[in-house]
Amino acid sequence: MSLGLPIGLPAAATGAATGAAATAASATTTAASTATATAMTCDDILWEPVPLARADAASVFDQPRLEALGGLVCSWIDVGQEFVLAYAPVDAAQQAAAIADLDAAGLTRVDSPEGVRFLSRDAIQASPLGGEHLFADGHWYAVQVLTITGDGAFIVPGTGEASDGVRTRVLEAVGASTAATPAVPPAQPGAAGDALACDELGPQAVLDVIDPALRDIDDTLALQADHLGFDAQRFTDLGGTACTWMVGQALVWVTFAYAPVDAEAQAAAIADLTAAGLTRTDTGEGVRFSHPAVEQAQPLDGQHLFADGHWFVVRQLSVGSGGAFVVDAAPADADALRDRVLLALPPAPTATPAPAAQTPPPTEQPEPPLTADEPSVLSGLMPAGAAPVTVASVASTAGTALVLAALVAIPNRLVDLALGALAERARRRPATAAPGPAERIRRLVRRIERALHPVAGIAIGLLAAGALTALIDPRAGASLGTLRLAASATLGYAIEGLLGLLVVAWLLRRDGASVAVRFRPVSLLFVLGAIVVSRVVGFEPGFVFGIVLALVFLRRSARHEQRAALIELGYLGAVGVAAWLVYSAVQLNAPPTGMLGLLAVETIAGLTIGCLMALPVLLSPVGELPGRAIWRRSRWLWAAVLVAAMALVVWVVMPFPAAWDAVHTPVIAWVVLLVAYTLGAAAFWVAVARPFGRGADAVPGPAALPD
């Protein structure tokens, strides 16, 4: 599930000016980054005040780790949920260590244009590093959303949009700080000119490296062409230098080596040193590697330090009759080499940052296409038990269901009255009168339906609905993942629509009714509309509507129509709830992986969403929908069924607040949209029915347009 926060964060802002907050490698820049992190507050990291309670500390998230890096960790609590926003400046070594830990924790890595992402894809038990992470611009951004139930705390999966929002806010603050206090950028590979010569590495310091017990008053230094097995080529290939001197009387060889490294080269070097058995120590200066004991010389032995965008090595060998053995240098020797190299390198030009006001705004980057083994938005359906069952949650569900039922039912009823008035006028119109535009469109649709063979029409309808539904994922494109999503939707619609209507038709035929199943081309507009709304507002798992088939009565019967409506709606409700329970059992016990596993579980998820989302739509007492038959039978029965259907949708498909965390449309916009729809429906009814004055039409019942 793509989760931002239910606090108004514009989580769709996925880009930022990457150069505005680059991590400085020198001590001065590191201090500036830390100062910036300390200067920010939890209110600064938000876009607007939020009606949530601040927590003193995160209950599960690894808060001490990011705070030790000079970062900021903020947490808020709500009923049954906890939200954590965090960031910290990191250098290459700290980033490599964090990435290794996230890999070990089982998070999914995604390399994106913004940076390296790690995502918790499933609703798993909460862990200190669960959630979503982004490494970019020399920072580590993290967001953790927890659902807290009686069974424990569970991670609410994310897609990375929330961490993009944190990044945008942090870069705004960090960019302003660096504009006020310019810092010298770190030395980068290739930016310092030619590699230093051996006499610039400070050969006079060689004697300082040697163990005093091995020194001799007559020691002399001789630069050697042979590095005694040391991998000097690796350093020269990286644009650095490796030099070895022999100390004559002591029979000791000392090697000084350095090279500029980027994050990728440093990670590769660290992996090789770890494999060689050297001991790693993370210090304030950087990442160190050293030998645990004296041993036979190897290509990468010695005292290593990764700091300031460079790799520094000091190696001391004692040569005797048994061969060359490492006599490890001290960490201070590597520190001294670092100081000499950085002093000898040509100074990098001082950065002249642009004023904060001129920083280009974040630009949205396209998401990578959905892959075959990557979950789609359908996997964002929350399983049973993930949302806490409390008095407050039950009350909010009931209240929301009542409000939505009223806001949908009233304008739908007005639209139906207007359509009824139009139908009545059409029946009164003389046969010689030319048909209006609406009637011509209706006749064209009917001709298309009659021209299609029933089986071909059903197949076309299901495939078209499945293909359109695949567009509900923002990552949809020409990929196997999109094809898999389309297949899941098509299979779900076949069970939801085709199988359901075949069951209804079979039961009605046993009662003497004459019915058939047909494809309704106009219904594809509802499928497309649901997808557009889901994409525009950012709602996940999305509004899925796949009812593209309908039951056609060859002989009209009010009793059979009412029975068909009750059976169809009961089937959709029962299948939707059963599919949700199966989906929940799978996701909470053994989340599937791979293309076939995701195909199966997302078919079940799509079936759940499609069945339950179809209930309120089909209950509208408009045209030939099943809700019209129930409305004509009993207004109270219709109202009770509509409220129950809305409650199922709210509880399962869009539980508050979890399913709305990523919705970047403000609540007021939803209210305005529903009010506008109600006013528009009322205006349509007034314009058509003319209920006021002498020319008022008789108000008909629910519209029953003739075939």
pLDDT of residue 646: 82
Angle between helices 161-180 and 27-39 (to 10 degrees): 120
Domain boundary assignment for the chain = 18-187, 198-344, 384-689
Q: Are strands 139-149 and 132-136 parallel, antiparallel or unpaired?
A: antiparallel
Backbone dihedral angles phi then psi of residue 241, each to the nearest 5 degrees: -140, 145
pLDDT of residue 102: 87
Q: Answer yes or no: are the C-beta atoms of 142 and 86 closer than 8 Å.
A: yes
pLDDT of residue 405: 62
Give the residue carrying structure tokens 């009255």.
417
Q: Which secondary-structure segment (H or E) carries 415?
A: helix 391-428
Q: Are strands 152-155 and 252-260 parallel, antiparallel or unpaired?
A: unpaired
At 128-173, the pLDDT tens digits run: 888 898 998 888 999 888 887 766 777 777 767 777 778 887 777 7
Q: How far is CA 482 from the centre of its chain?
A: 17
Distance CA 655, CA 701 (A): 35
At 333-350, the pLDDT tens digits run: 888 888 888 887 776 554
At 182-230, the pLDDT tens digits run: 333 344 443 445 777 887 776 667 777 766 655 555 566 777 777 778 8
Cβ neighbour number for residue 208 with a 10 Å cutoff: 14
Q: What are the C-alpha distances in Å from 19 to residues 15, 134, 138, 172, 314?
A: 12, 16, 10, 12, 33
DSSP annotation of 660 reads: G
Distance CA 653, CA 649 (A): 5
Q: What are the C-alpha distances in Å from 7 to residues 53, 289, 574?
A: 12, 45, 35
Beta strands in 190-234 (DSSP E): 221-224
Distance CA 562, CA 406 (A): 23
DSSP-assigned states of every residue in 358-370? GSPPP-PPPPPPP
**Nearest Cα to 177, choosing from 67, 29, 25, 9?**
29
pLDDT of residue 306: 93
DSSP-assigned states of every residue in 428-454? HS-TTSPP-HHHHHHHHHHHHHHHS-H
Please list the rounded mean pLDDT of every run of 10 residues in the chain (707 residues): 36 33 34 46 67 75 87 81 87 87 84 81 77 88 81 73 78 52 39 68 70 58 77 89 78 86 90 86 85 72 89 82 67 84 70 48 61 77 67 64 63 65 64 61 71 81 84 80 86 85 86 80 76 68 67 74 85 89 84 82 86 82 77 84 83 59 51 70 69 47 39
pLDDT of residue 12: 32
